[in-house]
Structure 1
């Protein structure tokens, strides 16, 4: 038997040895102690350890607990300030700052892990938890780097655990209804899709601060850095403004792409793009010069990816991503005062016979002109998720309780991994745009600009611009490698 499988199948004779969980004040025994993955314990509770439990992490673990079928057994956060509310909400849960210590000491006492850290610290704890045969729920985007997304996808299959990415819109009815419209031929064949967002709503397109700041006493800065290269602490970065810096975040694409691009990926069954090109917004460096700052994401971008033919298309698909407030031209079928998408964000499908659109999380799907929507009825083809986006959490809990392969989830890593890779390939073009080479006579050349980067999905590399491949996989700090 694979040693990795043994770790989650503790025999009954080890029950007393594992009874140390009673010291936590928890009287229900974790499911795996009594019989392995898929065993239905008398309590029918899933014991969950939360890594990153402030902000979105807090709402995630609360949603698991609200399902009535999960017990929040452990909490882990590098910042005591961020963890305070969750610690008050779940006073019986034992608290750690270092997820590595928690997994090493407590892995026999929980069944599943929820990860809601900054993007750069998603993959390492997720891989470690799956190696212990724990079910995992990871916030979007699944990973910071393309290599990580591929490895998490492979690990989910290897260790046979229940996985879910936190793009809760994947459980909404909108994507399923739009799939049914498309499958019924209502808008004909699709050749082009636009996704757009008003993000960023955090500082972006700015230089890295020149002066450091005192580290707050409640924050373990070294643990927060995790996989990223060491830098001195700067003010304003934590808890939210890390999103615009490449060492930690994935910009607007990472924040909103998993909610928006998920729609065409599902409707058209898109896989990996075969090429990508981009243009990005620049900023004023001084009164006379415009420029870019390589430490962070640009203030806006327009990325175009080409996807090869799928079983649901007749040919290639062009997918446009726009952020920073850039939007495609309004469809002529929209009345002048009708909202395009949901205003700040949206998805537009352009077909040979018509168009359809939706907002964030696939909400408010509409055929164009919108008067068609209420008049159109198609047969339901795809199962709905109870509770839709709010049911995304309970869906994972119930699937983990049932055991691998017993119940479907909306965004397993087999789907979320390739989706995340697609977004990060777009980011690869954005970062490659700013790769610079110093000229012998002064100044810089930018060989990655204004070209179409050709993507080899099997080998995870750009074939015609080698310099971009440095961003496929980061260099990990000691103690955080996959």
Structure 2
């Protein structure tokens, strides 16, 4: 399926105004999807290895070094440095696109691919701003393509257990949700807070810096080890900080289990405002309505050196400084360490032991389990062998919007009051202006050739 350029532009620019101008769908299935991968280093390398039951036909990266490595693994695939050229030249040879690039380039590559009727898997967070999220959701709905955001835990056993345990009333009435991470001061992609851009260095021959910068207006010059590879996450120009990097994983479980709506208020505790880089530590306090609990539920996010207080129900268990999640109820806690819900359990210890020893109190497995990985789930949906992915854009969009509101509170150091219906921050003009993003010529939606 193809969409003409006029309709693509109208859809993209009109989405945030609450309407769309393109009507159509792509419900066809493909026996062996032909996949193009944009970004094949770092996370992209892992995503490439996770693709099974499909044919890799094209590889794209602004860095010739990881591109060469990927090309050795897939010798028949065509290679490109510029995804715009790849999608234009191979539009009739591609069924689906995997986008594993820095946050600031998700939107433009995804919109161009979807406008051509290509199914898309996009790394988390879905986009770099709330307006971008809304436009991606709108075009996904209009085109009917199979979409998925790369928060791998959404396909896990653990997230299903968490929802089933909550719905079985094992922890009683939900009181609050607490999530935390040690980033941005350690972990992949972070080296601690930065107060200024580093001086320029010569751009190495293997890197196309113009393509890496992509849509970003007034980007800093290339600096060795500062941005590419990996270390773009903390810079507001390119990433969404620790919350954007990890929140789509850790907050995913309570967002789904409690059926949370987009928050109406975000309070913030931050030592100082940093206009170019995420601060060393923050506490983000969301207020969001839970359709499952039928009430507002406080959700608090701690990052860096900030740590939540330990509930008494944890007993002798200490909170891991690396990160984790607690859904705290009136009679128990659903808990897991780490960013993803790989091994959830219950507290207090007496509740956990009763749960393990007494089959009658264990809830039935009411949510279908995913065979294999999240990428397998997406590919099966493209083939028509399974339902649409759980983290399709209609789910991943509101989750990312929630995360993005928190990053805006961190960036401005001010409380946010939000009207999701009108996509307006009503009390913070600085944050409201950041709902939209500009793009350089050549990377704007209206510049893309479709």
TM-score range, shorter chain: 0.7 to 0.9
1:298 is matched with which residue? 279
Output aligned runs, 1:83-482, within 5 Å: 83-200=67-184, 201=186, 202-229=190-217, 230-236=219-225, 237-282=227-272, 292-310=273-291, 312-336=292-316, 338-340=317-319, 343-359=321-337, 360-376=339-355, 377-387=362-372, 391-402=373-384, 407-433=387-413, 448=414, 452-482=415-445
Q: Is the alpha carbon distance of 1:394 and 1:52 closer, same or farther for their aligned partners in structure 2, counting shifts above 3 Å?
A: same
- Partner of 1:320, secondary structure, is strand
- Partner of 1:149, secondary structure, is helix
CA distance in 2, matches of 1:413, 1:118: 18
Higher radius of gyration, 1 or 2? 1
- Compute the displacement of 1:209 (Å): 3.1
Q: Is the 8 A contact 1:204 1:297 kept in 2?
A: no
Q: Is the 8 A contact 2:274 2:411 kept in 1?
A: no
User: Could you give the per-residue CA deviations for residues 238-282 of structure 1, whole angstroms, max 9, x where no partner exists?
Assistant: 101111100001110111001101011011001200011111134
Q: Is the 8 A contact 2:269 2:283 kept in 1?
A: yes
- Compute the displacement of 1:203 (Å): 2.7
Q: 1:63 pairs with 42, 50, 70, which one?
A: 50
Q: Is the alpha carbon distance of 1:251 and 1:134 closer, same or farther for their aligned partners in structure 2, counting shifts above 3 Å?
A: same
Say how many residue pairs are matched.
413
- Compute the displacement of 1:4 (Å): 5.8
- Partner of 2:287, secondary structure, is strand
Comparing 137-146 with 370-379, which one deviates more in the overlay?
A: 370-379
Q: Any unmatched runs of 5+ in structure 2?
A: 8-25, 356-361, 446-450
CA distance in 1, matches of 2:255, 2:368: 17
Q: Is the 8 A contact 1:392 1:410 kept in 2?
A: no
User: Could you give the per-residue CA deviations for residues 29-83 of structure 1, whole angstroms, max 9, x where no partner exists?
Assistant: xxxxxxx85345xxx311100001111111112211xx2x111100010011232
CA distance in 1, matches of 2:390, 2:340: 13
Q: Is the 8 A contact 1:134 1:161 kept in 2?
A: yes
1:32 is matched with which residue? none
2:61 is matched with which residue? 77
**Are 1:54 and 2:51 matched, yes or no?**
no
2:14 is matched with which residue? none
Q: Is the 8 A contact 1:196 1:345 kept in 2?
A: yes
CA distance in 2, matches of 1:328, 1:4: 51
- Compute the displacement of 1:152 (Å): 0.9
Q: Any unmatched runs of 5+ in structure 1?
A: 8-35, 283-291, 434-447
CA distance in 2, matches of 1:4, 1:268: 40
2:359 is matched with which residue? none
CA distance in 1, matches of 2:352, 2:95: 44
Stretches (4+) displaced over 6 A: none
Q: Is the 8 A contact 2:280 2:305 kept in 1?
A: no
CA distance in 1, matches of 2:441, 2:421: 28
- Compute the displacement of 1:205 (Å): 2.3
User: Could you give the per-residue CA deviations for residues 13-43 of structure 1, whole angstroms, max 9, x where no partner exists?
Assistant: xxxxxxxxxxxxxxxxxxxxxxx85345xxx
- Compute the displacement of 1:343 (Å): 4.7
- Compute the displacement of 1:371 (Å): 4.4
CA distance in 1, matches of 2:156, 2:46: 18
CA distance in 1, matches of 2:109, 2:161: 35
- Partner of 1:241, secondary structure, is coil
Q: Is the 8 A contact 1:191 1:315 kept in 2?
A: no
Q: Is the 8 A contact 1:190 1:349 kept in 2?
A: yes
CA distance in 1, matches of 2:124, 2:349: 31
For normalisation by structure 2, the TM-score amounts to: 0.88
